[in-house]
A = this chain, B = another copy of it.
């Protein structure tokens, strides 16, 4: 998993039906030089500015109420950035 910061949302009116109902969050990686943001579905109610834990790949399906073509999902809000990092 990686820790990232919620910096925005993506609005996609025309999308695959099973994506309906998921907030699509723009996440910027918290650590590392590569600050390339990506999009993850929200299952926790994360808000802009919050530090979140994101999981990728097939594991994502275990956080969805039905199978959907989603490859990244927010699975937790990080209480605080690991100290010193």
Contacts and interface: CB of A to CB of B under 8 A. Distances in A.
Given A8-B84, A57-B71, A58-B57, A76 B14 contact: yes
A61 B60 contact: no
Interface in A28-60: 31-34, 36-40, 43-44, 53, 55-60
Q: How many copies does the complex hold?
A: 5
Contacts of A55: 69-71
A2 B72 CA distance: 10
Nearest to A1: B39
A48 to B, nearest CB: 11
Given A1-B40, A24-B53, A69 B79 contact: no
A15 B71 contact: no
